[in-house]
Amino acid sequence: MTTRIFNYFFSLIFLSIFSSQLLAIEMLKSQMVKMRDGIHLSTDVYFKGDSTTPRPTILIRTVYNKNKTFDWNPVWRQLVEQGYIVVIQDIRGRFESEGHYKVGYGRREDGIDTLDWIVAQPWSNGKVGLSGCSYLGEAQVVLETTKHPALVVGQPQSPASGYYRPGRAWQSFSGGAFELAQTAGWFASNGSIIFYGPNLTGQARSHWFNSPQAKHFRMLPDYDFKKYLANLKSLPTIDLLAKSHAYPSDYQLWRNRSPDDVYFRNMDLVKQDDTVSVPNLFFDTWYDYGARETLMMAEQFRQSAQNKNTQHQYVIIGPGTHCNFPQKDDELTAGNRPLANTAQPYHQIQLDWFNYWLKGQENSATQRPFLTYYVLGADEWRTANEWPIKNTQYQKWFLSHTSEANSRLGGGRLVTSPKSSVAQDQFIYTPENPVPSLGGHTCCTGTDTEAGGYDQSTIELRQDVLVYTSVPLKQGIEMTGLIKANIYVSSSTTDTDFTVKLVDVYPDGTAYNIQEGITRMRYRNSLREPSLITPNQIYEIQVDLNASSNYFAEGHRIRVEISSSNFPRFERNLNTGQPNHLGTTFVNAVNSVFHGGDKASYIELPIIP
């Protein structure tokens, strides 16, 4: 009898101690949260235990269907296990939420109304953190600028599309050229403004999505992306998605604008004078499209900090591609460039970050430098307390040649001092046969080689690619920071493009891309007001290659490729001087690059001593 009583009480004690671990994760599904204009946004609430105990909340606002989002980041499940509430919401006009979807508009108001709803719930203790990658990261930084009193902390991952850098709205333009593959690809696969569902609103809509018949209902049949890929080279580009029978979207409205159009300037993005009231831990990668903008945001928030908490802005930049943050080395996706030592304990870093700010847990979350970054080529992680990195030395490598620089078999050279006399290299750019994109810094294109480091050797055999290569380095150098090229060019047409690619050439001849950029000549002076060029007149232009970190090891060579296309990443310039997105015809262009003398073209690399 005594033994049975002891066992009974022991069982009660055991259950009371471990009950939180034994309880399953529950969900309040499709709660219709009312916005100020009467529109309801469908919202899922994940929790463990009862739904009346106040606790901190993690908010995730998504464009990608909340019903499929919870398991994207294993940390969210772990947070619920540790006593957090996780709230995932379909943004306005997407999937289960009511209203009309418009990319980059109206998110601050909806975010504020959602936060007001959260803090009014019995399970909320009034403290909210933000989480998510890509569009989800973008939604974070935009909401942070509202300085809502419930916001305590953010953890934006690959959020660069949420920052307005003139001419780079939503990362859809670069140097005046339209980022075709990334932007059109995203609109084709994820940009639909139409979803099928019950003709119900508010609570009735919530009941329907919680009903058995909704379980197998597909709000939008999968789009056959092959239709889009088959038409990618067709003209005009303004009709690309329509002729591919993609779902209705704002793509045409988007493409019909100039790179720094008032439409983009009015978007609900973080501007260069915005401030925030919360600390942030940013993640990004060197082969993603926006590491530079992420760094700009973090530095802006830190410099404008109004209290000691907002001074805590940190960045971790790894070697991978979009939203690829590996826990183990073999989880990395970065093309086919060999890399090692790539992993970070990203999961634990996130848990510590939220526990420190939302639960007051003592840990090392804030005991870190401003920037932790991976050096490609060196396979090492390094740190810095500022951006650009202190004591950076900007080193110019000048274009030169011993014979024509067409292809890597030509005589193009990269030297540390310019030649005294002017020389010229020339190629024919044919829009019908553009230089193909291979790896690089993009996402959402639907191709297997959309981003990362790849051997460019085959591309470098083309006659329309000028190749300039240094001698083997006698001593390795680290390059980390902003990269730009300053080149003198001319064209036989009234408009064309010039592309620049920075490459690391290994001793065996393998040539891995590091960064790339483009300048559309009509936008060489202004991203708002285009101006055509005079055929055969020489112009000095800058090509922005954004930022990266790479160690050019001893015995490696530095290489620069120059051409006029990088397709389909960038929309082809048709060389006619007419609006490219409306054009159906093209002409070939005879394009020239000058170097030496008073036309000393160069690429400028940020070298870390």
Residue 399 has pLDDT above 80, yes or no: yes
User: 230: how many CB neighbours lie within 10 A of its CB?
Assistant: 12
Q: Is 318 helix (H, G, I), strand (E, B) or coil?
A: strand
Residue 163: DSSP 8-state:
B
What is the pLDDT confidence band of residue 1, given thresholds at 50, 70 and 90?
Answer: very low
Distance CA 249, CA 270 (A): 23
Task: Please tell me the predicted confidence (pLDDT) of residue 366.
Answer: 97
Q: What is the maximal distance between C-alpha atoms in the chain?
A: 105
Task: Please tell me the predicted confidence (pLDDT) of residue 306.
Answer: 86
Mean pLDDT, residues 87-108 taken together: 95
Q: What digits encode the pLDDT tens for the residues 581-598? A: 999 999 999 999 999 999
Mean pLDDT, residues 67-89 taken together: 97
What mean pLDDT is reported for the chain?
Answer: 95
Tokens found for residue 228: 């889009």
Q: What digits encode the pLDDT tens for the residues 253-289? A: 999 999 999 999 999 999 999 999 999 999 999 999 9
* Size (the chain), residues: 609
Q: What digits encode the pLDDT tens for the residues 205-258? A: 999 999 998 888 888 888 999 999 999 999 999 999 999 999 999 999 999 999
Nearest residue to 524 (alpha-carbon basis) of 507, 544, 546, 505: 544
Least confident of 44-58, 206-220, 350-364, 438-452: 206-220
Q: What digits encode the pLDDT tens for the residues 138-177? A: 999 999 999 999 999 999 999 999 999 999 999 999 999 9
Distance CA 322, CA 112 (A): 28
Task: Please tell me the predicted confidence (pLDDT) of residue 22.
Answer: 57
Task: Please tell me the predicted confidence (pLDDT) of residue 161.
Answer: 96
Distance CA 258, CA 198 (A): 38
Q: pTM above the 0.85 mark?
A: yes
Task: Please tell me the predicted confidence (pLDDT) of residue 215.
Answer: 81
User: 346: how many CB neighbours lie within 10 A of its CB?
Assistant: 18
Task: Please tell me the predicted confidence (pLDDT) of residue 288.
Answer: 97
Residue 3 has pLDDT above 60, yes or no: no
Distance CA 193, CA 201 (A): 18
% of the chain exceeding 70 in pLDDT? 96
Distance CA 547, CA 11 (A): 59
Q: What digits encode the pLDDT tens for the residues 433-456? A: 999 999 999 999 988 899 999 999
Task: Please tell me the predicted confidence (pLDDT) of residue 218.
Answer: 83
Q: What digits encode the pLDDT tens for the residues 509-556? A: 999 999 999 999 999 999 999 999 999 999 999 999 999 999 999 999
What is the pLDDT confidence band of residue 339, given thresholds at 50, 70 and 90?
Answer: very high
Q: Is 187 helix (H, G, I), strand (E, B) or coil?
A: helix
Say if CB 588 and CB 573 are below 8 A apart.
Answer: no
Helix axes 346-359, 74-81, angle to 10 degrees: 40
Half-sphere exposure of 76 (CA within 13 A, CB side): 22
Q: What digits encode the pLDDT tens for the residues 405-427? A: 999 999 999 999 999 999 999 99
Q: What digits encode the pLDDT tens for the residues 486-500? A: 999 999 999 999 999
Q: Which residues contact 2 (CB under 8 A, 6 or more apart)?
A: none
What is the pLDDT confidence band of residue 330, given thresholds at 50, 70 and 90?
Answer: very high
